[in-house]
Amino acid sequence: MGVRICILLIFVSTLTFAQKVKWASQIIAVSSEYKDPLLGREFRALHALGRPSKYPKMTASPSAWQSLTADNPDGEFLLVGFDTTMAVKQIAIFENSGAGSIASVDGLDQNNNIYPIRTFFAGYNLSGSQVTTIKLPTKTAFKLRGLKITFNSLRVKGYSQIDAIGISDSDEPIESSLKLTSDANAFLARENLGNTINSKFNEICPVVSPDGQKLYFTRWKHPDNLGANRNQDIWVSNWQPDRTWSKPSLFPAPINNEENNAVCGITPNGKTLLLNNVYGKDGTMEKGVSFSFLLRTGEWSFPKALKIVNFKNKSEYSEYTLAPNGKVLLMTTESKDTYGGKDIYVSFLNADDTWSEPKNIGPVANTGEAESTPFMAPDGVTMYFSSSGHIGYGNNDIFLTRRLDDTWLNWSAPENLGPIVNTPQWDGYFSVSAKGDYAYFSSTENSVGAEDIFRIKIPEKVKPLTLIQMTGQVINQKTKEPMAARIVIKSKVNPSDSLSIDYDPYSGDYSFMWSAKKPFTIQIKKQGYFSKAENFDFTLEKNFLLVNRNFFLQTVEKNKAYALANISFDQSKSELKPGFEAELEKVISILSENAQYNLLLEGHTDNQGDWNDNLKLSQERVENVKAYLVSKGVDAKRIQTKGWGGSKPLANNLLEDTRKNNRRVEFTLVPVE
C-alpha cells in the first residue's frame, strides 16, 4: 500500500498544567486513514491531534485516527509532530479501541534523526481500550519534535484507533493532567425549576432573555400543545417580583403551529426572536432558521427566513444562536468539511441581507463526535455548547469556549463546566442572561418527568464577560418628546466592532448590551438635527451594570449661527486644539444629509492685541476648520468663510475664564441659491 502524506498544520490549544504535557499538533505522515465519501472527516489522522476526545470513558469513536483497512499485512504507521521540542521522560498513547496493535515507537529530533524508543510485543494490552504509557528511566538525550508509531494491524481483530498522543518531561502520569474535578463546590447545587415550569413531559431548549426577565422554552408532547401529534411548541414564563417564574403560557400563532417550534435566541433589546425552521404560509416547515420581530401592536411578525448562501444541511436537527450584534450566526450542521457528526459553523450578515456561506469554526471546538446546542452569551465572546467529543463526565457534556479574535474561527480550548452541571446522562441547552448570575439548561437526571429545565448559579471562572446594559430614549430638546433616531455604538479600540439600532419610541426604550472591557462611543443621528456623540468607559466595573441614559437632540435651523462647542484655540493661535474631530464630524454629517444647504464658517477672537492682527487670526481659524472639512470629503464650494476679529464677543473680555469663550468658530446653514 502506498504511503499517503497528509500536509496538515493544525495547531491545537492546550491547557497549562503543573507538569509540561504537550499533545501532538501536526500530522507529518500517515500510512492510510479511513475515508467514506458519504461522511465528512471522521476517522482521519487529524483526530489524533490535541487532547483525547474520549476520556476517561474510552470507546470507539469517529474522533480518532483509524486506518483505511482493519488488517493490513504491510503494517500501518502514524508520524506526528509537536509544536515545541523537548527532552521527554514519558509518552502516552490513547488507544480508543483495538488496543494491542502497536509494534514500535520511535522518536524524531529537530534534525530528523530517528531514535528507537520502545518495541511492543503481542499481548502488551490489558484491555481493548487503554492508555499505553512509556516511562523512561531518564529523559531522552535528544530533544524530541516528533513520534513515529508503527502498527501490526494483524495482531488485533478489527480496527484499531488512536485518539491522542502526549509527551511529558515528568514522572507524573500524563492522564493526571486530564482529570476532571470532582469538587461539588465547583458550582453551587443545581435547582430544578419545579412544577411551575416542568411537567411529566419534555421541557427542553431554555433561552433566557438577555435582561433575565423572560424564559422561553420548548415542550414536547404536552397535551396543551397545538396539533394532533402535540409536536414541540414554545412556551414563555416571566420573572416575577417575588423572584419566581410565572406559570408559563403557550406562545401564540404564527410562532407556534402544528409542526416543531423552538426559540434559538433573542436579541439584547428583546424585540427579535431567532426561531428554528423556515415557516411556510400554509403551515408547513422546512429546515433552516427564521427571524420574528415584535411589532408596535405587541404581536410578533410572521417568521422571515434567513437566506444563508450555499447552506445545505445534511443533519436532521440543527441548532442556531445569534451574536448580540445581530450580524453573526452560529449553527450546528453537517457538511463536506465536518470533522464528524454535527460541527459548529459561523455565518456573517451580508450587505444585501443574505448570510455568508457557513465556515467551520475549526478543530479546537469541533471533534469527530457531534457538537450541538451552541449558545452565544450576551458578551459576544463566550460560547457554551454540548459535545460528546471532549473529556467529560457522561455521554454528552456542556463546555465553554471563548472567541479569541474577530475572525470567529479561533477559540480557546473547551472547558468542561463540571460535575454539578454535567451528569452521566445527556446534558445540553445551556443559556445565560446578561447578568451572568444564573444559567439555565436541560437534563434528565433527577427530573420531574422526562427532560426538565434546571438553573444553577454560575461561578466566576465560567461566567460571560461583564456587561453593561444601556437603556433610555432619544428626545427632541425643544419639545421634550421622544423621537425616532439611529443609534450607532462603536468600540474605541476597534471601530469595526460596532452595533446599530433604529430607535422607535413607540416600541419603548432603546436597549443594548456592551462588554465592560471595551470603551465605546455612542453617536445619535437624525436628519435635520445635530448629531450627538458621547464616550463611555466602564472598564473598572466588575459586575453587570444597568445604565439609563437619555439623549437630547437639537434641531438644525437655517440662517442661525451655532458655536462649535468643542472647537477652541489658545490665545493668539489658529491651530485646532486636540479633541475637535468629534464636533466637526457632526458638521460633516449635517452637510451630507442636507444637500439643500451650504455652510458659512465665522471666526472670532477675544479683544486682546492689535485689531488687524485679530481680524487676520479669526480668518486663519476658519480656514483651518474649512481645510479639515475639505480633507474629509466636503466640497470646498459649499463652504464660505468670514473672520470678525474681536468685534462680536459672546462673553466678558475682562477675565480669561470668560474671555476664552470669545475665541471660537461658528457655523450657519444657508440655503443653496
At 188 the pLDDT is 61
Quickly count: other Cβ atoms within 10 Å of residue 110's Cβ.
Answer: 11
Q: How confident is the model at residue 239 (pLDDT cuts 50, 70, 90)?
A: very high
Report the pLDDT averaged over residues 264-274: 89
507: pLDDT strictly greater than 50: yes
Q: How confident is the model at residue 101 (pLDDT cuts 50, 70, 90)?
A: very high
Do residues 501 and 375 share a domain?
no
442: pLDDT strictly greater than 90: no
Report the pLDDT averaged over residues 551-564: 83
Q: Using the structure block, give the residue that is written with the C-alpha cell 474681536.
A: 646
Q: Which domain holds residue 502?
A: 467-553
At 660 the pLDDT is 79
At 182 the pLDDT is 61
Do residues 549 and 435 share a domain?
no
pLDDT in tens, 133-160: 999 999 999 999 999 999 999 999 999 9
Partnered with residue 548 across adjacent β-strands are 471
Q: What distance in Å separates the CA atoms of residue 414 and residue 391, rounded to the nearest whole number?
A: 9
Do residues 275 and 259 share a domain?
yes
594: pLDDT strictly greater than 90: no
Report the pLDDT averaged over residues 496-518: 88
pTM: 0.80
Do residues 156 and 169 share a domain?
yes
At 38 the pLDDT is 76
Report the pLDDT averaged over residues 151-176: 95
pLDDT in tens, 359-413: 999 999 999 999 999 999 989 999 999 999 999 887 889 999 999 999 999 999 9
DSSP letters along 596-634, please?
A: TEEEEEEEE--S-S-HHHHHHHHHHHHHHHHHHHHHTT-
312: pLDDT strictly greater than 90: no
User: Which of 178, 209, 243 is where one domain is finished?
Assistant: 178
Do residues 543 and 566 share a domain?
no
CATH number (domain holding residue 300) = 2.120.10.30
Extract the C-alpha cell encoding 198: 416542568
User: Which of 523, 553, 583 is where one domain is finished?
Assistant: 553
Report the pLDDT averaged over residues 225-252: 94
Sequence-ordered list of residues with C-beta below 8 angstroms from that of 464, at least 6 positions apart, any chain = 377, 378, 379, 381, 382, 432, 434, 436
Extract the C-alpha cell encoding 143: 530533544
Decide if 421 is inside a domain. Answer: yes
At 566 the pLDDT is 66
Extract the C-alpha cell encoding 153: 494491524
Decide if 10 is inside a domain. Answer: no
Percent of the chain with pLDDT over 70: 96
Do residues 573 and 437 share a domain?
no
Do residues 245 and 361 share a domain?
yes
5: pLDDT strictly greater than 70: no
At 19 the pLDDT is 65
At 4 the pLDDT is 29
Do residues 488 and 578 share a domain?
no
Domain count, the chain: 4
| One-letter amino acid of 383 | M
User: Which of 432, 462, 492 is where one domain is finished?
Assistant: 462
Report the pLDDT averaged over residues 98-115: 96
At 608 the pLDDT is 87
Q: What distance in Å separates the CA atoms of residue 629 and residue 431, rounded to the nearest whole number?
A: 48
Do residues 240 and 385 share a domain?
yes
Cβ burial of 470 (10 Å; 0-12, 13-18, 19+) is: buried
Least confident of 16-25, 604-613, 660-669: 16-25
Do residues 136 and 89 lie in contact, with contact meaning Cβ atoms separated by under 8 Å?
yes
Q: What distance in Å separates the CA atoms of residue 6 and residue 286, rounded to the nearest whole number?
A: 39
pLDDT in tens, 216-238: 999 999 999 998 899 999 999 99
| Mean pLDDT score of the chain | 89
521: pLDDT strictly greater than 80: yes
286: pLDDT strictly greater than 50: yes
Distances, alpha carbon 78 to alpha carbons 45, 91, 116, 225, 625, in Å: 8, 15, 15, 54, 68
Report the pLDDT averaged over residues 20-30: 95
How long a stretch of residues is the chain? 673
Do residues 535 and 618 share a domain?
no
Sequence-ordered list of residues with C-beta below 8 angstroms from that of 611, at least 6 positions apart, any chain = 645, 646
